[in-house]
A and B are shown apart, each in its own frame.
Chain A
Amino acid sequence: MSAAKQQDWNALSDEDFRSVVREFFTTHYPEELRYSPSRRRLSEMRGWYDTLSQHGWVAPAWPAEYGGMGLEPGKLVIFIEEQEAHGVARVPDHGIVMVGPLLIQQGSDDQRKRYLPKILSGEEIWCQGYSEPNAGSDLASLRTEAVLDGDEFVVNGQKTWSTLAQDGTHMFMLVRTDKQARKQEGISFLLVDMKTPGITVRPMRTLSGHEEFCEVFFDNVRVPKENIVGEINKGWGVAKALLSFERLFLGSPKLAQSALARLSTLAVLAGRDRDLVFRDRFAALQLDVDDLNGLYRRFTAQVRSGEKLGPDVSILKIWGTETFARIGDLIVETAGGAGMVDGPSAFGNETFDVLSNFYNARPSTIYGGTNEIQRNIIAGNVLNLPSA
C-alpha cells in the first residue's frame, strides 16, 4: 500500500527499537515544533506528516498489511515514550487514530481501499462530528438527520465542538436515519467530504485563545449512500467500537508523560528540584504516571490479542486525564508568580509557558465522554451497581 519498505519492527529487541525511534525523531523532527504548548494546526504539521508518510511511520498501531508499522503493545509504548520525551506534537490524527482502525475493523473493502492510503499519505485529514448543542453526554439524543433520497443521503442539522474541523477534508459523523426508532437504534455512521455543498464551518476560540474546535452546519448536504460504515441504523454499534479505541487513545500516558517532563524542567528552572515538599509531590505524580503506563500496556495488549475492550477501559481515560490535570496544577504552583502570566515567562535565559498544560488539562476531562460519564460507566457496567 505504501511505497515505504515494510519492516518487522517487532523483531527488534526493545533496546534496539528504542534507539531506532529515538534516532528517527532526533534526525527528522523539526526543532521549532518541539514541546508544543498547544494543539498544532495542519499547516504547521504538514512537513512532519510528509516525513512520517515517506518513512511509513504515520500509523504505528495499524497492522503492517494496511501500511501501518504493526507495532505490538510493548513496542507501541516505547514509540509513545520516545515521542513524548522528544516533545513531538500531534499531527491532526483523527484519521490515523480513529477512522483507520475503524475501517480496518468494520469498513468494507472498498472503503479501506478508498480511504486508508490517503490517511497514510496525509492527503485527507479527518474530523469528528458526533456532538451537537443538545447532544453531548447524551450523544444518542442527536438530531442531525440523514434522509435517503435515491442513491444519496440528504443531511441537515448541526454538529459542534468538532476539533480542527477547519482543517478537515472529511468528517466521520453520526446522523439520525430513523426518527421513529428508539434513540440508539435510528443512528447511522457516515463518512462525509467536507467540500460537499451545504457545509459551513465556524471555528470557535477556546479558553486558551486558540481556534481549536468548530461548529459545523449542514444544509441539504448530499452524501453518497455507500459512505455509510456498517449497516443503516446500526451506527451506534459502529461508534461504540470506536469509542473504546478513543478511550484507549485518550487514556494513553502521552499527555501526562510530557507534562511531567515539563514539570521536571520547570523545577530546575525555578530552583525547586531539591525542595523536599516538591520532591514528595513529584514522586507521587511520577508513580501515578508509571502506574498509568502499566494500565495502558494492559489494555493495549488486550487490543493486540484481538480481545474486545470492555467498559473497564474507562479507568484509563479517568486516570490519564486527571493525572495530567494534577501535573498541570503542580506546574502552576511550582512557577510561583509566573503562574499569573499569559504565554512564556523568562526564567534566567530560558522561557517557560506555565499555563499551557493547565489549560490543556481542562478539556481533557470533558472530551471523549466526560469523566463523570466514564465514572457512570464504571459504576454501572463494571461494578454492576443499580441505577438511581
Chain B
Amino acid sequence: MTENDISERLQQQQLITDSVTAFARRELSPAALRSGAVSRERWQGLAELGLMGMMIPEDTGGLGLRIGDLVPALEALGRPLLREPLVASAVFAGTLLSKTASTEKGAELLARLAEGALLPAVAWQEEYRLEASHAGTMLAASGEGRILTGRKILVVPGTDIDGLLVLAGTGGGKALVWLEPQAKGLRIESGTAADGGAIATVHFDKVPVDTADILSVDAGDLFDEALQTTTIAACAEMLGLICGAIDMTMDYLRTRKQFNRTIGSFQGLQHRAADLFIQQELSAAAIARAVADFEATTDAKGRAIAASRAKARVSSAALIVTKEAIQMHGGIGYTDEHEIGLYLKRALTLSAWLGNAGEHRARFAQLTMGVAA
C-alpha cells in the first residue's frame, strides 16, 4: 500500500467510526438486549451507516475495507450491547457472500445485504467443540438434483432470518449452499442463548437444493478465512463490551457509599479495578496484533493463529471483567433489573461463540508448538 492508500483508508475508517459512535449513542442502550428480538429497523440503520458494505470488495460495489477497519466500529457498537447480529450476519455471512459474489445468487444476496434488506445466518458447526470436523452434513446427488442431509447447531441468529448459508460436505470437498427458511425438509429448532438472543439447531432432511443456490463447491478455504475474520470481529465487539462494563462499574464505585465512604475509595477494590483496566488494554493489544498478523499473512495457518491469539485473550478478559463487575456491584449486580448483568450474559455468549478461550489456547498451542505427543 502507498502512503496515500493508507491515509485514505484511515480517513474512511475514521468517518465510519464517528458515524457509528453517534449512532450507538443515539439508538442503542444495554436494556434493548432484554427484548431478545432483532430490530429490522435498526438493521436497516446499520446498513445506512455503510457497515454491511464495508468489507465488500470495491469491484462488487463495497468499500473494500478490511477487518482492521471494522474494529473501532464494532467496539463502539459492543459498548452499548448491540443486539443485532452484525458480526454473525454482516461479517460472517457477508464475507462468505463477498467471496462467492461471482455467482449470480451470491451477487444478489450480497446486494440485498448491503442495503440492509437481508438477515442471513451461517450454519457450519455440528459439535460444541471448535476443532471437531463439522462435516457430517452432506450435499449429495439425488436423481436430477441435489439434496442436503444433516444437522447444524449453535446457528446465530436462530430466528427471524431470511436464509441460511450452509457449509456441507460433498464427498471430495466442501460446498456452500443458500437455503431459505421455508425450504422443504428444513426444520429450524430455535432456542435461547445466554444473552437472550435466538440460537438454533437446524435439521436438514433431504432438503432439495437448486443448482443456482450452490454458491461454491470448493468452499473450504474461503470458509476458513471468513471464520477467522469473524472471530476477530467478535473480539472487537467483546472489547466494546469490556469497556462498557468497566465504565459502568467505575461509575458505581464512584457513587455507592458504605461505611460513610465511597466504595471506590477502598484500596482492595481499587487494586482490582486496576486489574480490570489491564484486562481491557491487553484485549486491545491482542486484537491489534491479530489484525496486523491477519492482514500480513496469506496462509490459512497464519490466519488461524491470529484469530486464536485474539479470541483466547478477549474471551477470557470478557468473563473476568464482567464477573468482577457483578461482584463490585454487590447484591444489586445479581438482579435482573440492573444492566450490569446484561454485560455478563453477552460476555458468556460471545466468549463461547466460535470457540472459547480454552479452545483457542489449545488451537494456538497446536498451530505454534506442533502436535502434542
Contacts and interface: CB of A to CB of B under 8 A. Distances in A.
Interface residues of A, number: 45
Interface stretch (A88-96, A164-172, A359-367): A359-367
A203 B351 CA distance: 31
Given A204-B336, A206-B335, A136 B330 contact: yes
With a 10 A CB-CB cut-off, give which of B259, B327, B351 has the most chain A CB atoms. Answer: B327
A270 B131 CA distance: 13
A339 B351 contact: yes
Interface residues of B, number: 47
B336 A209 contact: yes
Given A136-B331, A366-B327, A337 B153 contact: yes
Contacts of A209: 336
Contacts of B257: 134
Contact of A337 (B125, B267, B331, B362): B125
A332 B348 CA distance: 9
Given A337-B353, A340-B199, A343-B191, A362 B331 contact: no
A376 B268 contact: yes
B348 A340 contact: yes
B335 A339 contact: no
B337 A205 contact: yes
With a 10 A CB-CB cut-off, give which of B330, B331, B356 has the most chain A CB atoms. Answer: B331
A313 to B, nearest CB: 20
B184 interface: no
Interface string A149-189: 00000000000110000000000000000000000000000
Interface string B308-345: 00000000000100010011001101111100010011
Given A375-B268, A376-B268, A336 B128 contact: yes
Given A138-B259, A342-B193, A366 B154 contact: no
A207 B193 contact: no
B331 A341 contact: no
Interface in B128-168: 128-130, 153-154
A160 B331 contact: yes
B269 interface: yes
Interface string A189-220: 00000000000000011110100010000000
A158 to B, nearest CB: 13
A211 to B, nearest CB: 9
A287 interface: no
A352 to B, nearest CB: 10
A60 B68 CA distance: 61
A362 to B, nearest CB: 5
30 contacts: A138-B260, A141-B259, A161-B331, A206-B336, A277-B358, A277-B362, A333-B357, A334-B358, A336-B128, A337-B125, A337-B128, A337-B130, A337-B153, A337-B154, A339-B356, A340-B154, A340-B199, A340-B352, A342-B192, A343-B191, A343-B192, A362-B323, A362-B327, A362-B333, A365-B327, A366-B326, A366-B330, A370-B327, A370-B330, A388-B267
Q: Which 10 A-B pairs have the closest CB atoms?
A: A339-B352, A340-B352, A205-B336, A336-B128, A337-B128, A138-B258, A207-B341, A342-B192, A333-B358, A161-B331
Given A341-B193, A370-B330, 19 more contacts: A134-B257, A204-B336, A332-B348, A333-B358, A335-B352, A337-B128, A337-B129, A337-B353, A339-B356, A340-B348, A340-B349, A340-B352, A340-B353, A342-B191, A355-B348, A362-B334, A366-B326, A372-B269, A375-B268
